[in-house]
Amino acid sequence: MNTVYIREMYPDDVDEVLEIERQCFTMPWSDTSFRSEIYGRHSITRVAELNGIIVGYICIKHVADEGHLLDLAVHPDYRKRGIAKMLLADVIEELRLCGCRFFYLEVRISNRAAKKLYETLGFRTAGTRKGYYMNPVEDAVLMMREL
């Protein structure tokens, strides 16, 4: 079976998620960061699972009518198969159910793959945040789409 399932992230998933996180980011989230999102009242956390293995994940925060992307990654061996798109489609549905009208995110200016992904899903540039990222220091593009 090669079906990708999107499901809630559980505390038992954190070790697997961390392995992907450390491969994808120069300043990876910690175990505590993921756990606090899993239990957060205003958080939405999802994993993408393929044949019992976690291949991607997403963490979102929502406050009032705004959703904000906090973390998204797909394991390097499973990219370009539509998994990030599935994760985002799932949380967009959930944000709508929560009454959110706007979805915001930041992305490194140099991250062409992610920017293309977000544009494909209807996000548009809403501004820049100077020196938003560390290691290396880099500006963020702020992107937004209406839900």
Ligand X SMILES: CC(C)(COP(=O)(O)OP(=O)(O)OC[C@H]1O[C@@H](n2cnc3c(N)ncnc32)[C@H](O)[C@@H]1OP(=O)(O)O)[C@@H](O)C(=O)NCCC(=O)NCCS
If we measure between CA atoms, which residue out of 90, 72, 87 comes closest to residue 34?
72
Candidates 3-11, 26-34, 79-87, 124-132: pick the segment binding ligand X (CB under 6 A).
Answer: 79-87
Q: Residues 88-127: x/- map of binding to ligand X (CB under 6 A)? A: -------------------x---x-xx-xx--x-------
Gyration radius of the chain over CA positions? 15
Q: Which of 16, 66, 94, 106 is catalytic?
A: 106
State yes or no: residue 74 binds ligand X (CB under 6 A). Answer: yes
H helix runs in the chain, sequence order: 14-24, 31-39, 83-97, 112-120
Is 57 considered catalytic here?
A: no
Is 19 considered catalytic here?
A: no
Q: Which of 37, 49, 57, 118 is catalytic?
A: 118
Residue 86's SS3 state is: helix
Burial 76-90 (b: 16+ CB within 10 A, else e): eebeebebbebbbeb
Q: How far apart are CA 33 and CA 117, in angstroms?
A: 25
Of 66 and 138, nearer to ligand X (C-beta) is 138
Of 4 and 38, nearer to ligand X (C-beta) is 4
Of 35 and 115, nearer to ligand X (C-beta) is 115
Number of residues that bind ligand X (CB under 6 A): 18
Which residues lie below 8 Å from residue 134, measured CB to CB, with a gap of 6+?
A: 27
Q: Which residues are catalytic?
A: 106, 118
Which residues are at the interface with ligand X (CB under 6 A)?
A: 24, 72-74, 79-85, 107, 111, 113-114, 116-117, 120
